[in-house]
Structure 1
Amino acid sequence: MQKILTIIGARPQFIKASVVSRAIQQAEGIGEIMLHTGQHFDANMSDVFFNQLGIPRPDIQLDIHGGKHGEMTGRMLIEIEQALAEHEPDRVLVYGDTNSTLAGALAASKLHIPVAHVEAGLRSFNMDMPEEINRILTDQVSDVLFCPTTTAVQNLDKEGFGNKPAKVLQVGDVMQDAALLFAEKAAPPVSDTALPDKFVLATLHRAENTDDPVRLEQIVHALNLVHEEQAPVVLPIHPRTRNLIAKQNLDLKVRVIDPVGYFEMVWLLNHCQLVLTDSGGVQKEAFFFGRPCVTMRDQTEWVELVDEGVNELTGADTARIVGAVSRNLGRRVVDTNQLYGGGQASKRIVEELKAAR
């Protein structure tokens, strides 16, 4: 039996792994060991996802979080290497663009263990983003690259992967698999007061925004204006973001709630009028549920959503954010071109993993 060691550590990876792990469990001739780096350590940001999504409890738990990027990645490298030496997997499977992703890919490649990368080929073309560095380096050491979109395949082709001994495959997006699978289990978040019937769903966590005082102030001002003048804004807030806003003495006037589990997030996406975000994954999730998206970043990995006119980039400019919300509020989005594979990505990934041994 082929032994896959899957490395996860952050919220989006839990969701992606939930559907791929389910497909692995249903397949013959392939088994999985789950390693959780601990990169997201808050109970609402990790444990709840295992409980809700039915992901097998991790076989290996590293509990590595906090510190600067180099420190975190270095600690992960040391302990992941030890785990790989102990379990001797046939292949390592990594997801997305986090420090856990890069550490897992580097540790495996140094031990000559083949690496498969889910969500390969994505590019924002902004090297100030640590996620962009993680994506590029992970792709470079992977031998199977599972691309979610045509654009991702084209990015790798431009980088010369057609001349490398790596297999580039367009399989679709596992996040769409998850959205379709778990939509029926969605439930509203627990709150001390009822949420408004019509609202804008916001998320804010990217370091390029939260760690830049000017950008953070512009975004908070925009959120306040939207909340006061257009529609109530509901913001599930990460503890780190909350602390940075408080440290800068910014007056955030929107409806703030604690971080939510995936099913609660699905409920919010399915009941909001518009999504206002700096997340990569949430841009797609908005699309899966027919909601327009305004993205508070200068670039996006999901350029096809911008090309389709369902996602508008505004950067961190208050006026542009408020204007984009005004133009898109309440508009419905239709997936006419099946941009992300129609919910079959995880099945395709497992079929390819079995064939690539």
Structure 2
Amino acid sequence: MTAKGLRTLLCVVGARPNYMKIGPVLAALDAVPRFRTVLIHTGQHYDPQMNDALFADLGIRAPDVNLAVGSASHAVQTAQVMMRFEPVVTGAADPVVLVVGDVNSTLACALVAAKLGVKVAHVEAGLRSGDRAMPEEINRILTDQLSDWLFCTEAEALDNLRAEGIDAGRVHLVGNVMIDTLLGNLKRAVPAAATLAGSGVDASSYGLVTLHRPANVDDEGVLAGLVDSLVAIAAHLPLAFPCHPRTRQRLEAFGFLDRLRAAPIALLEPQGYLAMLGLMAGSRLMLTDSGGIQEETTALGVPCLTLRDNTERPITVDEGTNTLVGRDPKAIMAAFADWRATGGKGGRVPALWDGRAAERIARILDAEA
């Protein structure tokens, strides 16, 4: 450490889910006088319009460094991030590397830091799906093994890390920074009525859909079953479907777009954070394969049907509003029938999901870094 105790915190984001997590962390770290924060965007997600809109919505400053790695295979993308990140670390004064989430950039930057003997802080540590076929699961496991500070959102993450032999002194239960962002922006959310105007879907009663995981959208048979389910559900509850560009490509390639357009389903362009927050808050039911949305709907009290066979966020099932239903159309329709009969899970907001997780992270790093 330098004589004055100043530290450079290299805060890494790479993909859209990271942006919702880094905002409150940056704000909390910037409030610590001896920290100098540097925001590094690896460029793993690189669409300028979507990036700029999300950064503006979230009130995050423009990145100080953009590595501009772009899209590639997992191996190539990870290697490119490592090659471009290494000189940033070696050129920084007394650095700590802070990574969030579970994308390729998270692991790549943690690995660079560990190889250089630079300490690593991992925000959202300890989450496990139990499915090593998911690239994100590999990223989670390895990043946690490399990290010096592991900041967890829920108690089960502590159990996961203990089972993997992680020293308990490195692990801290701090809460969920994504919920910090949600609570801090809820009053600024774009009303659903504004987003849905002219779509044909009534903003007073609708369900909300997101799909993007390769396991759901790349297999024609799986995607066909999901489309069948959405069309059947929309006959009872009109749906708003902000469509990820990759998902739209698959729907078009497999010839499914016309089926969706013929149903009471509003196919929307990808939405900014504040518009998506308004859509979630106003919806009666969420259908998704997103990890973060499972957490956000739990915080909002909106019933969520997760179209996956597992989740790395089990607290949303055990305590929150989330139900794992998988991809089988019969199971999806049975879960929807249960929602129609009961109104879905009420759940409760987990402990420490109170909007102050980032403050706890900053206090710990100030004391220990």
Q: Which band: TM-score by shorter chain?
A: over 0.9
The 3 A distance-change label for structure 1 pair 301 and 115 is: same
| Alpha-carbon distance in 1 for matches of 2:303, 2:123 | 25
Structure 1 residue 89 displacement after superposition: 4.7
Determine helix, strand or coil for the equivalent of 2:125.
coil
TM-score (norm 2): 0.91
Instruction: Tell me the equivalent position of 1:344.
Output: 356
Instruction: Tell me the equivalent position of 2:171.
Output: 168
Structure 1 residue 333 displacement after superposition: 5.7
Instruction: Tell me the equivalent position of 1:41.
Output: 46
| Two-structure CA RMSD over aligned residues (Å) | 1.8
| Alpha-carbon distance in 2 for matches of 1:334, 1:348 | 28
Q: Which amino acid aligns with 1:212?
A: D
Instruction: Tell me the equivalent position of 2:219.
Output: 212
Structure 1 residue 184 displacement after superposition: 0.6
Q: 5 Å matches for 1:105-144?
A: 105-144=110-149
Q: Which amino acid aligns with 1:266?
A: L
Query: Which residue among 176, 184, 194 is the counterpart of 1:181?
Result: 184
Larger mean Cα displacement after TM superposition, 90-99 or 23-32: 23-32
The 3 A distance-change label for structure 1 pair 191 and 199 is: closer
Determine helix, strand or coil for the equivalent of 1:6.
strand
* 1:27 and 2:35 matched: no
| Alpha-carbon distance in 2 for matches of 1:111, 1:162 | 21
Instruction: Tell me the equivalent position of 1:246.
Output: 252
| Alpha-carbon distance in 1 for matches of 2:32, 2:368 | 15
Q: Residues 291 and 331 of structure 1 are in contact (CA less than 8 Å); yes or no, is this contact kept in structure 2?
A: no
Q: Any stretches of 5+ residues in structure 1 without a counterpart?
A: none
| Alpha-carbon distance in 2 for matches of 1:308, 1:349 | 24
Count of aligned pairs between the two proteins: 354
| Alpha-carbon distance in 1 for matches of 2:150, 2:279 | 32
Determine helix, strand or coil for the equivalent of 1:92.
strand
Determine helix, strand or coil for the equivalent of 2:323.
strand
Deviations 1:93-125 (CA, angstroms, capped at 9, x unpaired)? 000000111111111111111110000000000
Determine helix, strand or coil for the equivalent of 2:305.
strand
Structure 1 residue 256 displacement after superposition: 0.7
TM-score (norm 1): 0.94
Instruction: Tell me the equivalent position of 1:257.
Output: 268
The 3 A distance-change label for structure 1 pair 63 and 337 is: closer
Q: Residues 102 and 136 of structure 2 are in contact (CA less than 8 Å); yes or no, is this contact kept in structure 1?
A: yes
Instruction: Tell me the equivalent position of 1:275.
Output: 286
Q: Which amino acid aligns with 1:275?
A: M
Q: 5 Å matches for 1:142-153?
A: 142-153=147-158
Larger mean Cα displacement after TM superposition, 326-335 or 49-58: 326-335
| Alpha-carbon distance in 2 for matches of 1:171, 1:136 | 19
Structure 1 residue 192 displacement after superposition: 6.3
Q: Which amino acid aligns with 1:285?
A: E
Q: Residues 44 and 259 of structure 1 are in contact (CA less than 8 Å); yes or no, is this contact kept in structure 2?
A: no
Q: Which amino acid aligns with 1:295?
A: T
Q: Any stretches of 5+ residues in structure 2 without a counterpart?
A: 1-5
| Alpha-carbon distance in 1 for matches of 2:162, 2:244 | 36
